[in-house]
Structure 1
């Protein structure tokens, strides 16, 4: 049974419906002993030696299947070792952790939760020794198909973007890591020129700004970035004035954004017109101005392409974006003074439909989650040029949708 009820809302979900949703199972020929169980299990695993970090994998999965997985990543070689898996409910398609790595939060990307037109948000305690997860609680996301989640830098608020609901919501984090009911919900308004994809608002991202004073929501359906003040008292999300902090090109379909480490620039990946937009950030009033927009695919590529994820190298020198269709990672060099981008490379992802990717904490390895071809592929990063080289390590995966790297404690 397919655990999705919004066929026709967005093309990606129609394709998922055709392919079927299932849990992720990853395997390396060099894997050590793995542990599986439900979210209440006490998982005991053998820790890998060497320069390692942890990688949590979110997936599209049926309600009763294992759906969040933990791997150790060797940052020197790019090799992954599966450590454990938990049953985290249906479609934990995007993940976030607090700064102390004590709690993990996941959206459950559905359109029906306990009889309401909503998805859900799940909170987990993280075992500091094993990385295992124990479910704490689950609350309604306040809109259908929650697709992005983040935690503010003070670890006080979890922010969620509901794609089908066309809104964003803020959830207070309690002392024990549990989530309270939504403290604020902001409904987006408007449409875009693309009748199939922009017939209504589609919030696709929300995250805090670099100073944690504002939160910014990216809406694919309305071609807008909307700003909110992060407040601790009363309304947690209060719209800034003006509420639209940046208007993208009509039909661009902005999806995700990332801030430069210097806090002066942000970069927005546009799903519907395959562009990357560099923005100058005004931290005083939380607004943006366009610096440059560049294509994410070669000029001679005319087939369907839908960019998905955007990340920046830890040193702020290079910007990366995933192209679903062209099936590549595009690499840009960033001018630290102006924020302008220069194309460096298009590198094949070694699979089909790279929905997400991540860069490890050392800046040495980039991992790509290819949703349709069911694999995660490892790449070495040249820290001088930003270029990617396939390490030869590849993991068989079924519908991976999110990768989160954290330090191995």
Structure 2
């Protein structure tokens, strides 16, 4: 009897370990450039870097950016499709990987390119529409009627005309007191007071930071304590370190993802910190197709460690797996996700040799 109990314990532990090393990975794609079903769910092994397809959606148009609900029961996606752009809600079944379509709403702005949510709201950044739409959430996970559309007509003092907004990212701070958004068109970074439970004035503009024209603020990420923002600018590849205390910005450092001898088109894309906060990674598309690794110093400033090829074209989005062992880069134009191994001590990336072949992958989200 004791032998059977011991065997059961061993098998239980092995099964638990196996479950811990396997995580669902959802990939959003563009469906109008090649044969794609929309969203794909893979079982990703954090021990080996292998990915096995579990499920995919059908007839979902251009789910180019995705976000999980806090409890991981729902997935929200944009449907980037010009005048017909929408946002959609799905029920996620972790065991099977199936995504059950729940409902869609007009994004109330063309070409949404970023989406985030909390327990109360779904927020969408509309690139061509130049606005942010705030939707309510129903108890069943569906998206409710929009509560607010936030658009700005501000212009610089030296501008002869109002430049169009191109909202590129919107993010709720961890304390839920503010929302930060990047405007690639106006070269602004906005801070809003966040009133999540209000019926209409959910976002109230608090302040904005103006950058040099033509930089193109795109994506940003917060330090774990929320007091530092790392901002990547698409058009010139500059990378800013900003202190963010009590809703106030201050520029701490400016660096770049563009190599000194590089000559060609720059199109910086995505930025993420490692889970331990020791390293920051950022991609550059255009003619470069590179990813840079920076060491994060104790004061939050950055020191370049490495810039390497992403081994594909159009590194749109990337993600670090929950174990921190692998970094996956989605290549929009070469139709492949390239999987790099991460040296946890140095942050340096090396090619694992593992790939996921997929039509126009653009967004990677781990459960």
TM-score (norm 2): 0.90
Q: Tell me what 1:174 maps to.
A: 138
Q: CA deviation at 1:273?
A: 0.8
Would you say 1:93 and 2:64 are equivalent positions? yes
Find the partner of 1:123 among 89, 95, 118.
Answer: 89
TM-score (norm 1): 0.81
Q: Tell me what 2:289 maps to.
A: 327
Q: Tell me, in whole angstroms, the C-alpha distance in 2 between the residues paired with 1:301 and 1:92.
A: 33
Find the partner of 1:188 among 145, 152, 156.
Answer: 152
Aligned partner of residue 82 in structure 2, secondary structure: coil
Task: Verify the 8 A CA contact 1:62 1:89 in the aligned structure 2.
Answer: no
Q: CA separation of 1:96/1:163 partners in 2, compared to 1, >3 Å: closer, same or farther?
A: same
Q: Tell me what 2:203 maps to.
A: 238
Q: CA deviation at 1:248?
A: 2.1
Q: CA deviation at 1:229?
A: 2.0
Task: Verify the 8 A CA contact 1:210 1:259 in the aligned structure 2.
Answer: no
The number of equivalent residue pairs is: 344
If you compute each CA radius of gyration, which structure gives the higher value, 1 or 2?
A: 2
Find the partner of 1:59 among 25, 29, 45.
Answer: 29
Q: CA deviation at 1:89?
A: 2.0
Q: CA deviation at 1:241?
A: 2.8
> In the TM superposition, what are the counterparts of 1:2-401 in structure 2 within 5 Å?
51-62=21-32, 66-87=37-58, 89-113=60-84, 119-152=85-118, 155-190=119-154, 199-231=163-195, 232-242=197-207, 244=208, 246-282=209-245, 284=246, 286-325=247-286, 326-336=288-298, 338-401=299-362
Q: CA separation of 1:236/1:319 partners in 2, compared to 1, >3 Å: closer, same or farther?
A: farther
Task: Verify the 8 A CA contact 1:185 1:237 in the aligned structure 2.
Answer: no
Q: Tell me, in whole angstroms, the C-alpha distance in 2 between the residues paired with 1:296 and 1:236.
A: 37
Aligned partner of residue 146 in structure 2, secondary structure: coil
Q: CA deviation at 1:383?
A: 1.1
Q: CA deviation at 1:129?
A: 2.1
Unaligned segments of structure 1, at least 5 residues: 1-47, 114-118
Task: Verify the 8 A CA contact 1:166 1:187 in the aligned structure 2.
Answer: yes
Q: Tell me, in whole angstroms, the C-alpha distance in 1 between the residues paired with 2:301 and 2:36.
A: 44
Aligned partner of residue 71 in structure 2, secondary structure: coil
Task: Verify the 8 A CA contact 2:337 2:358 in the aligned structure 1.
Answer: yes
Q: CA deviation at 1:345?
A: 0.4
Q: Tell me, in whole angstroms, the C-alpha distance in 2 between the residues paired with 1:181 and 1:358.
A: 31
CA RMSD, aligned part only?
A: 2.0
Q: Tell me, in whole angstroms, the C-alpha distance in 2 between the residues paired with 1:259 and 1:210.
A: 9
Q: Tell me what 2:12 maps to.
A: none
Q: CA deviation at 1:397?
A: 1.8
Q: CA separation of 1:341/1:65 partners in 2, compared to 1, >3 Å: closer, same or farther?
A: closer
Task: Verify the 8 A CA contact 2:89 2:102 in the aligned structure 1.
Answer: yes
Task: Verify the 8 A CA contact 1:68 1:88 in the aligned structure 2.
Answer: no
